[in-house]
């Protein structure tokens, strides 16, 4: 089973080399020429000592020496090309894999990112693929040159002295078997190193991104202690790996040394018996050097293979992760959206089994504004996440224009929905780039128009570089209100028929909130709008309100109707002293 699994991995790995097969074949051809030069030198040396020098054919001797010199100069050129071309090909393979895993991660569902830390995922996209360059280049090259050199040397040595050649033939498999056994322990240790690298990167990412919070609470010492623990675990796994590598290298070097001693010992014995001369022993000694070089390369290959395949296995773990939410085969493209939304007896639970929504039913007419209010954790945001299908319902249906969202392509569904979230995320770019994210093909003039509607234009032009001002990591150089209004400008630019406003004005002061509310009122005209709000002052003018409590909708209707009932909504307004 393991052999089939490894064969499958090698086939997948080879599929990434295939697009660069021209470079691969050039690399292999040059490596073969290098191996042939290495094989030729001891054989030519033997002939010169046995024939040319004793027969005083000095002119021929110097011609052959000149040919050998040219051959070794060419070998140096070939080695240069192999290094440049081979590593270049490996870099292209690594880049293809990195692009593939990043693209695949973009297709994965929200639940995948709920369960995987950012630092760990970063490690899989970066560090885990570093050794792929070496494996893609040195792996096939070493296997080819080692195979040609070892078998070529054995054939020549069998011709020179079969008994001495047999000694080497017996020792090589023993050496390789010991190496394979040691490699398995190295592979396990290397995989652990990569896992711990992911954990320490996660600790670094968390420590840096949360630096302001840790400083605000004077908790730097706690962060240092958490990092210290992760660092100690990482250090332990590294030491464990190097111990395994030390055993591996030490054992194989001992075996290589034993091969050289065996050649001299057996060769000396054969000279004593008159079955071999000194020239053949010198030739054998040269071939043992040519022989042990590929053996060492095989040892090096095992280390490269161990490191590369450990990273490749973790790469495959992500690539073989299927998105939980996928388009059905006959999924339709959502066009000409009117904007009706319906929750038809919807229930939702996370993978843990924790139920978040229970038998939710409501209808929102096209162009209607609908507010969801209630205490934190009641399920309002989760309801909104079901509309663009960030998660799939556990029971029931969510419909847009009477179409189940599961029957609509995710791309067309989300292109028709604009979301302004409570937790604003800005990319580390310029103001212009962040607003244009709402519609990448928008012109500069359209971006400026969107910013004006979001009441942020006047502040942008006062910034050091205007619309080209760099906002920093997650928009750190901007105020909370500025970040919120830039996110609102994105949606103005996108201009979708359905809006979801999740505490869209939560980071704003009262004056700015009024301005933004006017902008949102303008933006939402003619659009279906779902508003999540804790401050009930922001939902006074919506068409309908639903109160969500304890996973259910406890009441819904217009504000006037709900106040007249003197139920849950009236109690909320009373609590906020708005009645």
Flag whether the pTM goes above 0.85. Answer: no
Give the homologous superfamily in CATH for domain 10-319: ABC transporter type 1, transmembrane domain (1.20.1560.10)
Q: Fold for domain 341-575?
A: Rossmann fold (3.40.50)
Mean pLDDT per 10-residue section of the chain, whose length is 579 residues? 59 86 90 84 74 77 87 90 86 86 80 70 73 75 81 80 80 73 71 72 67 60 77 81 78 76 81 78 72 70 75 81 83 88 90 82 91 84 88 91 91 87 78 87 90 86 88 75 84 88 68 70 82 80 88 88 86 72
Handedness of CA 155, 156, 162, 167 (dihedral sign): negative
Question: 272: buried, middle or exposed (CB in 10 Å: 19+, 13-18, 0-12)?
Answer: exposed
The pLDDT, as a whole number, for residue 484 is 81
The pLDDT, as a whole number, for residue 98 is 85
User: Does residue 542 contact residue 391 with C-beta atoms inside 8 Å?
Assistant: no
What's the rounded Cα separation, in Å, for the pair 173 and 295?
Answer: 11
- Which string of DSSP letters, residue by residue, matches 379-448? SHHHHHHHTTTSS--SEEEEEETTEEGGGB-HHHHHHTEEEE-SS----SSBHHHHHHTTSTT--HHHHH
Relative to beta strand 369-373, strand 544-549 is: parallel
The pLDDT, as a whole number, for residue 215 is 54
Q: Look up residue 354 and give its two tokens.
A: 């924790």
User: Does residue 545 contact residue 562 with C-beta atoms inside 8 Å?
Assistant: yes
The pLDDT, as a whole number, for residue 579 is 43
In 3D space, the residue among 558, 554, 562 whose CA is nearest the CA of residue 542 turns out to be 558
Instruction: Decide: helix, strand or coil at residue 304.
Output: helix
What's the rounded Cα separation, in Å, for the pair 571 and 110?
Answer: 35
The pLDDT, as a whole number, for residue 211 is 63
Domain range summary for the chain, segments of one domain joined by +: 10-319, 341-575
């Amino acid at each position: 089973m393991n052999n089939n699994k490894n064969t499958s991995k090698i086939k997948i790995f080879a599929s990434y080399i295939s697009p660069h097969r021209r470079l691969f074949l050039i690399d292999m051809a040059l490596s073969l020429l290098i191996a042939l030069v290495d094989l030729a030198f001891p054989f030519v040396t033997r002939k010169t000592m046995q024939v040319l020098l004793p027969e005083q054919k000095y002119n021929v001797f110097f011609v052959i020496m000149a040919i050998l010199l040219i051959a070794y100069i060419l070998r140096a050129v070939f080695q240069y090309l192999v290094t440049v071309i081979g590593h270049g090909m490996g870099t292209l393979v690594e880049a293809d894999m990195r692009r593939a895993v990043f693209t695949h991660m973009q297709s994965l569902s929200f639940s995948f990112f709920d369960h995987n830390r950012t630092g760990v995922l970063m490690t899989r996209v970066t560090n885990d693929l570093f050794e792929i360059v070496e494996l893609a280049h040195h792996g096939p090259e070493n296997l080819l040159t080692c195979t040609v050199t070892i078998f070529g040397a054995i054939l020549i040595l069998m011709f020179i002295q079969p008994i001495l050649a047999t000694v080497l033939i017996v020792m090589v498999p023993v050496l390789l078997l010991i190496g394979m056994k040691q490699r398995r322990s190295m592979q396990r240790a290397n995989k652990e190193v990569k896992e711990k690298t992911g954990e320490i990167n996660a600790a670094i990412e968390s420590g840096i991104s949360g630096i302001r919070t840790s400083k605000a609470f004077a908790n730097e010492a706690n962060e240092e202690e958490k990092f210290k623990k992760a660092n100690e675990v990482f250090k332990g796994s590294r030491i464990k790996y190097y111990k395994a590598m030390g055993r591996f290298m030490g054992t194989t070097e001992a075996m290589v040394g034993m091969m050289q001693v065996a050649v001299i010992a057996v060769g000396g014995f054969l000279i004593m018996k008159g079955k071999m001369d000194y020239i053949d022993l010198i030739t054998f000694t040269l071939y043992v050097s040519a022989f042990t070089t590929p053996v060492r390369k095989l040892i090096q290959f095992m280390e490269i293979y161990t490191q590369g395949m450990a990273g490749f296995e973790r790469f495959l773990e992500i690539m073989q992760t299927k998105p939980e939410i996928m388009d059905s085969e006959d999924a339709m493209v959502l066009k000409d959206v009117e904007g009706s939304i319906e929750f038809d007896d919807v229930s939702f639970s996370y993978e843990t089994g924790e139920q978040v929504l229970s038998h939710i039913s409501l209808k929102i007419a096209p162009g209607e504004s609908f507010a969801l209010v209630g205490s934190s954790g009641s399920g309002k945001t989760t309801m909104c996440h079901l509309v663009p299908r960030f998660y799939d319902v556990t029971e029931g249906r969510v419909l847009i224009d009477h179409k189940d969202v599961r029957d609509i392509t995710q791309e067309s569904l989300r292109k028709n929905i604009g979301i302004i979230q409570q937790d604003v995320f800005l990319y580390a770019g310029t103001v212009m780039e962040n607003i244009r994210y709402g519609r990448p093909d928008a012109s500069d003039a359209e971006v400026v128009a969107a910013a004006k509607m979001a009441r942020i234009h006047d502040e942008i032009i006062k910034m050091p570089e205007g619309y080209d001002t760099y906002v920093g990591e997650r928009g750190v150089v901007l105020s909370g209100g500025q970040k919120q209004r830039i996110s609102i400008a994105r949606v103005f630019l996108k201009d979708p028929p359905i809006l979801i406003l999740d505490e869209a004005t939560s980071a704003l002061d009262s004056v700015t909130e009024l301005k933004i509310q006017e902008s949102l009122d303008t933006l939402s005209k003619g659009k279906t709008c779902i508003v999540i709000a804790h401050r009930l002052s922001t939902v006074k003018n919506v068409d309908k309100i639903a109160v969500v409590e304890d996973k259910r909708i406890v009441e819904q209707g217009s504000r006037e109707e709900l106040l007249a009932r003197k139920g849950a909504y009236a109690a909320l307004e009373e609590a906020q002293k708005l009645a």
